[in-house]
Structure 1
Amino acid sequence: MVPSEVRALFSVASRPGVVSLAGGMPDVTALPADALGELLGELAVTRTAVALQYGSAQGDPALRERICEVMAMEGIRARADDVVVTVGSQQALDLTARIFLDPDDVVVTEAPTYVTALNVFAAYQARIVSVPMDSDGVIPNALEETLRRLAEAGRRPKLFYTVPTFHNPVGVTLADARRPAVVDICGRAGVLIVEDNPYGLLAFDHQPRRALRADAPDGVLYLGSFSKTLAPAFRVGWALAPPSVRDKLVLAAEGAILSHSVLAQLVVERCLATQPWPEHLKAMREMYRERRDAMLDALATWMPPGCLWTRPDGGFFVWVTLPPGVDSKEMLARAVAAGVAYVPGSGFFADGTGHGHLRLSYSHPAPELIREGVRRLAGLLTATADM
């Protein structure tokens, strides 16, 4: 087990005077605080015996029905019986690794990929094989070639882990034309796809993308979360799995935590049932789009020659490629001293490469702070290039 580079930055990034463009934290002030307080009070009075008691390891049935309605926005037709509520989607990922992976099993991921997913797979002693991406997401030909080479070596991966929509850390989205190809390639190879999709409803200029799971219910294990669309403090996520996998997830959850917080589940269910959910999502999309625009404008204004960056159309992140010879991990201490924090790119690669990249998040700071943080970073990069 190794520490997450993102988590290790939290204490540094919270220092007074430091603009944090590091952690992908949502802005929870967008939640209707008065309505949330009323819901909590109502549940405390009317549902005390249920809200404060143990619950099912599979999760509250009414919440699972609401989750199916949420996934329908991405084209997924699901039954509540096939949903397993988890403590955030992070626990769903850990439970998936627990039931599938033995030491030296192979997991295929994008390169780069979500840093904590790498930590989870490493904790179960899996061998991680990476597949390159471009501006349209994972490259199908490269994925197919990787699976072919593994098969020739007598190795069939247990999982293909992907963040296809508003990717963490790169911010790009798997192109619509590539999605059927990815599903077909993994299906022919007998590899289960783990689709991690916490950002999918945060599309800025279009309707939510059709999920991979929508077209391959037997070949995709879908992970979702309310941490980005409601609040991470609820710690409510879920897995939508084929029945044979679902039952094992429930058993693994019972062994890990016995049951989830029923109170948190009831609050989320009541939020979805009584609050204007479409209007809430619209407000969040507009807020994050404004912050994305502030970051892209600041990057175009201040970053020195030789820097490149992605242009996400949803989610939380921008991926920056630095001029040749600049090491984002080596530069981090000087960046914090200059009053700005980011995540070095090396944490997102299984082999520790990626020193010429960094991840910026625009989700939490206000637009004026985003601009100031990018200005400080650009000044440091300019000074570094002159050294």
Structure 2
Amino acid sequence: MSSLEPSRRDTRLDPYIDQYADRTGSMTVSAVRALFAVANRPEVVSLAGGMPNIADLPLADLGASFDQLIQTKGVQAMQYGSGQGELFMREKIVEVMAEEAITANPDDVVITCGSQQALDLVTRIFIDPGDVILAEAPSYVGAMGTFNAYQAQIHHVEMDEDGLLPDALRQAVVALRAAGKAVKFLYTIPNFNNPTGITQPLERRREVLAVARELGVLVVEDNPYGLLTIEGEPIDAMRSMDPEVIYLGSFSKTFAPGFRVGWVLAPHAVRERLTIAQEAAVLSPPVFSQFAIANYLDNFDWRGQIATFRSMYQARRDAMLDGLSAHMPTGTTWTSPNGGFFVWVTLPEGLDSQALLPRAVNERVAYVPGTAFYADGFGSRNMRLSYCFPTPERIYEGTRRLGKAIADELEMHATFGLDTGEHRHTDRNLGPAPDVS
């Protein structure tokens, strides 16, 4: 280089870019978390996040009970614990799972830092880069983030109003194996699927399990909402029908998320590897949280508290469904969940939920665009609405604002002659056509 030529020095925003592991390239920001700055503004009705409403918990009594816990068992509760989780907590978890007809041994339970870590550990021990995970279409955005972080390929399996389609599952497995792909497991949320709110009936669960057994596909059942059914009793878990199912549970929705206690119920050999992975990750799950939740289960009417939550969420769900019926333009459809936190909306043809979001935020309402819940580009006509946290009055008002945003978008399309025909992705319409007369 001539001494007269200027020296060049490239600059980067991240000076460590060449040092990260390849798998970090698959990590993306959660679409739900990305909305927090907007959704948390007080003037915005947030129908975006799935944050449980815990205001109905007996907080004063819980505080006094936890104070007594620290006085009597503080030395043990604030110490390191077992990598698998404390035995007394695993015994309590077995009692909770019995509510959904699961018979289990505490020795086959591994306690985790929320069910999100349970999902991470299961993925860690089964997935090599390029392996395939089957998931419902659409599926939980947090699960797909975990799968992507371990460089898995996510293949969606079609759903209908009763959940995962057994024939579609069979076709997917056969085609993927014929293409030389390693199908490691099926990830499913059979109760009040996140994001659709759809529940698999008992017979559909049996059919899905029969296909999985026939083809030798492991089933991972994620069930954070199962006890929060609104009408009727909880449906028996898939794990209750097949002891080879890996079951993920959590206290985040039925008690409080701040304790970060979830669990995995797995076949014994899998449990051994999960415990090793858990110890490598955190040494032991939060011991104080385990003492606190066991204390709650021992000394409070936790079944009665779940009934209180069910009634509270029913009022919120009804407000959302009433609001959608009152305010959505013709051509909009949605699901009608019997529990959980979410409703899945399909927009009129030609509309895009991501493009609509700025207009909705301008109307002071937030939601999660549907593409966040797919790994294959679908979902552009869909959105997930959450009814778990705002008051019924705020939810109803939120649907009014959203309906105005959609109507204004439709008017703009009509005014400027924009294409309102078949959308570039033919998204799955999982909701019945509503009566908006």
1:39 to 65, 69, 77: 65
| TM-score computed with the length of structure 2 as normaliser | 0.87
**Does the alignment pair 1:310 with 2:325?**
no
Aligned equivalent of 1:169: 195
Aligned equivalent of 1:294: 319
2:102 to 50, 54, 76: 76
Aligned equivalent of 1:334: 359
- Find the aligned partners of 1:177 and 1:150 in 2 and give their Cα distance: 26
- Find the aligned partners of 2:37 and 2:101 in 1 and give their Cα distance: 39
Task: Determine if contact 2:201/2:235 at 8 Å carries over to the other structure.
Answer: no
Aligned equivalent of 2:265: 240
* AA of the residue aligned to 2:61: A
- Find the aligned partners of 1:42 and 1:87 in 2 and give their Cα distance: 24
Q: CA RMSD in A?
A: 0.8
SS at match of 2:100: coil
Aligned equivalent of 2:394: 369
Q: Which runs of 5+ in 1 are unaligned?
A: none
**Does the alignment pair 1:27 with 2:53?**
yes
Task: Determine if contact 1:295/1:371 at 8 Å carries over to the other structure.
Answer: yes
Higher Rg of the two aligned structures? 2
Deviation, structure 1 residue 44 = 1.1
**Does the alignment pair 1:145 with 2:171?**
yes
- Find the aligned partners of 1:20 and 1:144 in 2 and give their Cα distance: 38
Q: Percent identity?
A: 53
- Find the aligned partners of 1:76 and 1:116 in 2 and give their Cα distance: 25
- Find the aligned partners of 1:64 and 1:42 in 2 and give their Cα distance: 22
Aligned equivalent of 2:9: none
Aligned equivalent of 2:10: none
Deviation, structure 1 residue 15 = 1.0
Deviation, structure 1 residue 304 = 0.5
- 1:28-51 CA-partner distances (Å, limit 9, x unpaired): 111110121012101110111111
Task: Determine if contact 1:147/1:156 at 8 Å carries over to the other structure.
Answer: no
Task: Determine if contact 1:68/1:78 at 8 Å carries over to the other structure.
Answer: yes
Aligned equivalent of 2:223: 197
- Find the aligned partners of 1:277 and 1:63 in 2 and give their Cα distance: 15
Aligned equivalent of 2:159: 133
Task: Determine if contact 2:191/2:198 at 8 Å carries over to the other structure.
Answer: yes
- 1:156-213 CA-partner distances (Å, limit 9, x unpaired): 4101000011000000101221111111111111111000000000001111110000
* AA of the residue aligned to 1:221: I
- Find the aligned partners of 2:165 and 2:208 in 1 and give their Cα distance: 9
| TM-score computed with the length of structure 1 as normaliser | 0.98
CA 228–272 in structure 1, closer or farther in 2 if over 3 Å, else same: same
2:380 to 330, 339, 355: 355
- Find the aligned partners of 1:110 and 1:195 in 2 and give their Cα distance: 12
2:137 to 102, 111, 123: 111
Aligned equivalent of 2:428: none
SS at match of 1:30: coil
1:57 to 77, 83, 92: 83
- 1:219-254 CA-partner distances (Å, limit 9, x unpaired): x10000010111110101000000111011111111
Aligned equivalent of 1:346: 371
Q: Which runs of 5+ in 2 are unaligned?
A: 1-26, 413-437
* AA of the residue aligned to 2:95: E
- Find the aligned partners of 1:174 and 1:41 in 2 and give their Cα distance: 42
Task: Determine if contact 1:103/1:124 at 8 Å carries over to the other structure.
Answer: yes
* AA of the residue aligned to 1:335: A
SS at match of 2:35: helix
Aligned equivalent of 2:293: 268
- Higher RCO (CA-CA < 8 Å; seq separation 6+): 1
User: Greater shift after overlay, 92-101 or 31-40?
Assistant: 31-40
